[in-house]
């Protein structure tokens, strides 16, 4: 386009920036240069890995230029920034995302084609960065994308795990875990910054020195660990800023080793090193359970101490010892309670290292910190024994006692004078057989804002989890409904749908997702319906091939694709889905004419390695699948597939092909859910309970375009209050009884009767804590409605379109704007360049 021609076009930012910043020819030159110059190979010999690396390094030139410009802008304007502290960042793959965000995707495809390479194949060479378990970690990743896109100054801080979430295999249907080695041979996206390394202290004792007017506490640490930062550039969409995700790796400190080494302790020195490096070795694979392990507490402290030190270093570089601007420039967000130890750590730094008065330091902390709660499940609410704290972080325990003392004697006593029961109830220290530090209480007391992640969840945080804190500080507890980045979860993962949308609305919808509403007008248009469902079918054809490649199972793209993808957990109720599959199978065996649309039930889920019932549910799904998929009597009407090693890159293949989205948690248990948003955005219809963000999805899409069923939060509470007895359902519902007894036979595990009995056991003798049997009939009826609606192709297409069209609210940019307005109060700084 000539300058003149360009001038005639409307000068929208999207239109101008959408042009690739480089020609295919120039990019080819860069790729070849990296292939030869940094990979040490050449075109004829290079492996796909080498091509992927060379392409990534070529793209990195654009990434790094953006990073430098952004950093200069931030320091020029001395910007207020949010520091997002999270134990998990579930980034997935970066090449495709970076190409899309830089508008380099098409030009790179063309450049590679000219070199005889296929971009889609190369993208598959990249290992997922699986530094997280599930929703909490992926939310952090989506938030980084939005922060960069919105030109907001932000740094993500986390741990540079050597091994991310385990790789899942199935052996005879059972989950086997293998270590993940995402950076075994180096990762092209990360830059080591040894110049910003920090020292982190652990163990030891606290000495009280009586020198000046007030006694001074001195922590004599028993051990010092080096924290080395690795920076991952986070590329905003459409020419926006490039922010940083800074991940800390633990190393042995050199000076510590030398003493031992020189004393002849060569082996001991190596052991010290191995111990130090254990800290960032592996991600704990427990989702929503508190491991209670010493190494986990050390991981938490390690990355919080390094991050706080880094934040303080950055501040002091511009402001020296003048702390007045600190709360104006620094916001620290705690992603759940995992980084709550950052609160006493900042207190320690200000008081011990910079001689600040308690009151001033506490004032700073309360302005700087805010905390996001992601669950109400009691087993996920972190507590550490006082004993462990005393051993690992003795100075922090002192500080926590002081925080608690001030809080109880001032705030609590003022509100509830003389009420000792209330003091005990709100205390950061839980008294009992073993005294515990309650990290949730510490987080609420130390933060100026606390948010839940969907409206119903935030309401429950106020009424059920922290009602007294809410009474004490009515302004503190708030809501920010979760969101997902439409760049990864629509534009990049579903290029066919993205292209169709581009034909009908402004191409800047990935920035302004509310513009999808423009598609509502098309929902009744037969041609558009056809085009929309044709995209869905092509995506299903692709997934069919992938299913075959991964499992050998053949499924038809003409079947209804019913998808449940999320961590395996009883509260998410994959076993409710399974019981319904068994009921369908039984109906088909009883009556081969049983009228149903052919359906493929697709699962993806990892179970925590020590969560036995979750692993039994995976085994049961695989065994039931084996039997059903090989049963010629049912005429291919029913297929069940559990894809191995569910992860971000697999989600990107499953979501575009889904017709139905399973969101069937017990009401009140799923804080928000985010997979629900991704699936609906890609045109899947939700079958779900009134839980978490499902409620808001149904509000946006309209009840006619979802299948809502089951007990509500209040009904679950009422059922618990009057006493729930699962046998009421087992005894009176013939189908429930039959499928549970079936699980307890050897029908699905020939020669091994009872191999699947633990599920039945947990639902009967175990009391069915998640009300699976109570919701079964309503679920089965809702599934009947799904089937009926799918037969009416027009009605289905219309609902699918309306789902895509109405998901604008769940753009993570909107979530971030809510954080900015309600909590962080940041200003955007587009980079100068």
- Within residues 156-195, the interface with ligand GPU by CB under 6 A covers none
- For position 287 contacting ligand GPU by CB under 6 A, the verdict is yes
- For position 145 contacting ligand GPU by CB under 6 A, the verdict is no
- For position 282 contacting ligand GPU by CB under 6 A, the verdict is no
| Only segment of 169-177, 664-672, 777-785, 793-801 that touches ligand GPU (CB under 6 A) | 664-672
State how far the Cα of 265 lies from the Cα of 259, in Å rounded to an integer: 9
Nearer to ligand GPU, 602 or 671 (CB): 671
Instruction: Kindly tell me which residue out of 453, 600, 608, 640 binds ligand GPU, with binding defined by CB under 6 A.
Output: 453
Nearer to ligand GPU, 136 or 680 (CB): 136
To ligand GPU, the closest distance from the beta carbon of 810 in angstroms equals 11
State how far the Cα of 694 lies from the Cα of 566, in Å rounded to an integer: 15
Beta-strand pair 205-209/216-220: antiparallel
State how far the Cα of 54 lies from the Cα of 622, in Å rounded to an integer: 40
Instruction: Kindly tell me which residue out of 674, 749, 803, 806 binds ligand GPU, with binding defined by CB under 6 A.
Output: 674
Q: What is the token pair recorded at 642?
A: 């559990």
Question: DSSP H helical segments within 279-341, as ranges?
Answer: 294-319, 326-329
Report the number of secondary-structure helices (H) and strands (E) in the chain.
36, 25
Kind and range of the H or E run holding 157:
strand 154-159
CB of 685 within 8 A of CB of 661?
Answer: yes
- Within residues 678-697, the interface with ligand GPU by CB under 6 A covers 692
Nearer to ligand GPU, 284 or 407 (CB): 284
To ligand GPU, the closest distance from the beta carbon of 613 in angstroms equals 18
Nearer to ligand GPU, 127 or 673 (CB): 673
- For position 671 contacting ligand GPU by CB under 6 A, the verdict is yes
| Only segment of 128-136, 220-228, 404-412, 600-608 that touches ligand GPU (CB under 6 A) | 128-136
Instruction: Kindly tell me which residue out of 173, 486, 673, 726 binds ligand GPU, with binding defined by CB under 6 A.
Output: 673
- Within residues 562-591, the interface with ligand GPU by CB under 6 A covers none
| Only segment of 634-642, 656-664, 671-679, 715-723 that touches ligand GPU (CB under 6 A) | 671-679
- For position 249 contacting ligand GPU by CB under 6 A, the verdict is no
CB of 403 within 8 A of CB of 347?
Answer: yes
State how far the Cα of 457 lies from the Cα of 673, in Å rounded to an integer: 11
Q: What are phi and psi of 436, to 5 degrees?
A: -130, 150
| Only segment of 182-190, 348-356, 417-425, 672-680 that touches ligand GPU (CB under 6 A) | 672-680
- Count of residues engaged in binding ligand GPU, rule: CB under 6 A: 19
| Only segment of 53-61, 132-140, 626-634, 805-813 that touches ligand GPU (CB under 6 A) | 132-140
- For position 815 contacting ligand GPU by CB under 6 A, the verdict is no
State how far the Cα of 691 lies from the Cα of 17, in Å rounded to an integer: 40
How many CB atoms are located within 10 Å of the residue 355 CB? Answer: 12
How far apart are the two ends of the chain, measured CA to CA in Å? 22
- Within residues 25-64, the interface with ligand GPU by CB under 6 A covers none
Q: What are phi and psi of 112, to 5 degrees?
A: -70, -35
State how far the Cα of 201 lies from the Cα of 226, in Å rounded to an integer: 9
Half-sphere CA count of 808, side-chain side, radius 13 A: 15
Instruction: Kindly tell me which residue out of 128, 190, 288, 290 binds ligand GPU, with binding defined by CB under 6 A.
Output: 288
Nearer to ligand GPU, 656 or 668 (CB): 668
- For position 257 contacting ligand GPU by CB under 6 A, the verdict is no
Quick note: the x/- pattern for ligand GPU over 300-339, rule CB under 6 A, is ------------------------------------x---
Kind and range of the H or E run holding 729:
helix 727-732
Nearer to ligand GPU, 284 or 389 (CB): 284
To ligand GPU, the closest distance from the beta carbon of 87 in angstroms equals 9
Which residues participate in catalysis according to the annotation?
374, 566-567, 572, 674, 678
State how far the Cα of 325 lies from the Cα of 56, in Å rounded to an integer: 39
Quick note: the x/- pattern for ligand GPU over 366-405, rule CB under 6 A, is --------xx----x-------------------------
Nearest in space to 226 (alpha carbons), one of 260, 257, 250: 250
To ligand GPU, the closest distance from the beta carbon of 691 in angstroms equals 9
| Only segment of 129-137, 209-217, 538-546, 805-813 that touches ligand GPU (CB under 6 A) | 129-137
- For position 299 contacting ligand GPU by CB under 6 A, the verdict is no
Question: Please, which residues bridge with residue 190 across strands?
Answer: none
Q: Write down the residue that tokens 């800290």 correspond to.
A: 279
- For position 808 contacting ligand GPU by CB under 6 A, the verdict is no
Nearer to ligand GPU, 117 or 133 (CB): 133
How many CB atoms are located within 10 Å of the residue 832 CB? Answer: 10
Kind and range of the H or E run holding 170:
strand 167-171
To ligand GPU, the closest distance from the beta carbon of 338 in angstroms equals 8
To ligand GPU, the closest distance from the beta carbon of 656 in angstroms equals 21
CB of 130 within 8 A of CB of 165?
Answer: yes
Q: Which residues contact 800 (CB under 8 A, 6 or more apart)?
A: 532, 533, 536, 659, 683, 684, 685
State how far the Cα of 324 lies from the Cα of 316, in Å rounded to an integer: 11
Nearer to ligand GPU, 304 or 330 (CB): 304
To ligand GPU, the closest distance from the beta carbon of 523 in angstroms equals 28
| Only segment of 97-105, 473-481, 488-496, 665-673 that touches ligand GPU (CB under 6 A) | 665-673
- For position 482 contacting ligand GPU by CB under 6 A, the verdict is yes
Q: What are phi and psi of 161, to 5 degrees?
A: -65, 135
- Using the CB atoms, write b or e for 26-35: b if 16+ within 10 Å: ebbebbbebb
To ligand GPU, the closest distance from the beta carbon of 428 in angstroms equals 19
Q: What are phi and psi of 316, to 5 degrees?
A: -70, -25
What string of DSSP letters covers 340-381?
TTHHHHHHHIIIIIT---HHHHHHHHHHHEEEE-----GGGS
- For position 662 contacting ligand GPU by CB under 6 A, the verdict is no
Instruction: Kindly tell me which residue out of 50, 94, 131, 139 binds ligand GPU, with binding defined by CB under 6 A.
Output: 139
State how far the Cα of 728 lies from the Cα of 243, in Å rounded to an integer: 56
Instruction: Kindly tell me which residue out of 66, 127, 135, 644 binds ligand GPU, with binding defined by CB under 6 A.
Output: 135
What string of DSSP letters covers 13-37?
HHHHHTS-SS-HHHHHHHHHHHHHH
| Only segment of 34-42, 130-138, 533-541, 780-788 that touches ligand GPU (CB under 6 A) | 130-138
Residues lying near ligand GPU in the complex (CB under 6 A) are found at 133-136, 139, 287-288, 336, 374-375, 380, 453, 482, 670-674, 692
């Amino acid at each position: 386009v000539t300058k003149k021609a360009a001038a005639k076009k409307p000068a929208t930012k999207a239109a101008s920036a959408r042009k690739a910043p480089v020609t295919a020819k120039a990019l080819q030159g860069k790729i070849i240069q990296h292939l030869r110059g940094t990979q040490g190979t050449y075109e004829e010999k290079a492996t796909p890995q080498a091509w992927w690396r060379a392409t990534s390094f070529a793209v990195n030139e654009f990434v790094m230029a953006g990073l430098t410009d952004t950093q200069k802008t931030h320091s020029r304007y001395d910007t207020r920034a949010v520091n997002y502290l999270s134990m998990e960042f579930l980034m997935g793959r970066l090449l495709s995302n970076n190409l899309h965000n830089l508008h380099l995707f098409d030009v790179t495809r063309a450049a590679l084609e000219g070199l005889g390479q296929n971009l889609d194949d190369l993208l598959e060479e990249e290992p997922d960065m699986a530094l997280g378990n599930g929703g909490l970690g992926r939310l952090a990743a989506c938030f980084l994308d939005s922060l960069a896109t919105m030109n907001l100054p932000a740094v993500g801080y986390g741990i540079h795990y050597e091994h991310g979430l385990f790789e899942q295999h199935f052996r005879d249907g059972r989950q086997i875990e293998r270590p993940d080695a995402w950076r075994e041979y180096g990762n092209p996206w990360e830059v080591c910054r040894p110049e910003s390394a920090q020292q982190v202290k652990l163990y030891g004792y606290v000495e009280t020195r009586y020198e000046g007017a007030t006694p001074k506490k001195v922590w004599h640490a028993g051990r010092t660990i080096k924290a080395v930062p690795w920076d991952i550039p986070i590329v905003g969409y459409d020419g926006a800023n490039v922010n940083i995700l800074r991940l800390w790796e633990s190393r042995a400190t050199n000076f510590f080793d030398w003493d031992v080494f020189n004393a002849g302790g060569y082996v001991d020195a190596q052991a010290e090193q191995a111990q130090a490096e254990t800290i960032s070795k592996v991600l704990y694979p427990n989702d929503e359970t508190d491991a209670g392990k010493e190494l986990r507490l050390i991981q938490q402290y390690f990355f919080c101490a390094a991050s706080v030190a880094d934040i303080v270093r950055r501040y002091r570089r511009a402001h020296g010892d003048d702390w007045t601007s600190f709360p104006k420039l620094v916001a620290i967000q705690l992603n759940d309670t995992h980084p709550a130890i950052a609160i006493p750590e900042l207190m320690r730094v200000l008081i011990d290292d910079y001689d600040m008065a308690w009151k001033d330091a506490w004032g700073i902390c309360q302005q700087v910190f805010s905390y996001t709660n992601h669950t109400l499940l009691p087993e996920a609410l972190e507590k550490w024994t006082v004993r462990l704290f005393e051993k690992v972080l003795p100075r922090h325990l002192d500080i926590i006692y002081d925080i608690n003392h001030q809080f109880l004697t001032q705030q609590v006593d003022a509100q509830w004078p003389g009420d000792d029961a209330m003091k005990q109830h709100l205390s950061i220290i839980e008294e009992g057989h073993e005294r515990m530090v309650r990290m949730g209480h510490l987080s609420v007391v130390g933060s100026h804002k606390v948010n839940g992640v969907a409206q119903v969840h935030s309401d429950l945080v106020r009424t059920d989890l922290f009602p007294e804190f809410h009474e004490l500080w009515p302004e503190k507890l708030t809501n920010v409904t979760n969101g997902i980045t439409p760049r990864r979860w629509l534009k990049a993962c579903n290029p066919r749908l993205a292209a169709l949308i581009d034909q009908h609305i402004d191409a800047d919808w990935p920035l302004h997702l509310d513009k999808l509403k423009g598609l509502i007008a098309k929902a009744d248009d037969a041609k558009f319906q056809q085009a929309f469902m044709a995209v869905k079918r092509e995506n299903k054809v692709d997934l069919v091939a992938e299913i075959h490649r991964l499992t050998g199972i053949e499924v038809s793209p003409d079947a209804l694709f019913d998808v449940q993808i999320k961590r395996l957990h009883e509260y998410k109720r994959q076993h409710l889905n399974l019981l319904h599959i068994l009921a369908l199978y039984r109906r088909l065996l009883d009556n081969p004419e049983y009228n149903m649309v052919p359906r493929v039930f697709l699962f993806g889920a990892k179970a925590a390695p020590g969560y036995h019932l979750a692993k039994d549910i995976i085994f049961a799904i695989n065994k039931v699948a084996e039997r059903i998929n090989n049963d010629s009597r049912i005429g291919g009407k029913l297929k069940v597939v559990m894809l191995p090693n569910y992860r971000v890159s697999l989600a990107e293949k499953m979501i575009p092909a889904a017709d139905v989205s399973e969101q069937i948690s017990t009401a009140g248990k799923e804080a928000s859910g985010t997979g629900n948003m991704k699936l609906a955005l890609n045109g899947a219809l939700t079958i779900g309970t009134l839980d978490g963000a499902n409620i808001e999805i149904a509000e946006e899409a309209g009840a006619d375009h979802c299948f809502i069923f089951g007990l509500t939060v209040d009904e679950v509470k009422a059922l618990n209050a009057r006493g729930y007895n699962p046998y009421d359902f087992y005894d009176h519902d013939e189908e429930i009884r039959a499928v549970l007894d079936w699980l307890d036979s050897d029908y699905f595990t020939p020669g091994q009767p009872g191999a699947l009995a633990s599920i039945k056991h947990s639902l009967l003798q175990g009391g069915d804590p998640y009300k699976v049997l109570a919701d079964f009939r309503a679920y089965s009826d809702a599934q009947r409605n799904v089937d009926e609606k799918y037969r009416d192709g027009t009605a289905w297409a219309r609902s699918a379109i309306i789902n895509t069209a109405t998901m604008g609210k769940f753009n993570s940019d909107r979530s971030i704007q809510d954080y900015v307005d309600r909590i962080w109060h940041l200003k955007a700084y587009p980079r100068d360049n």
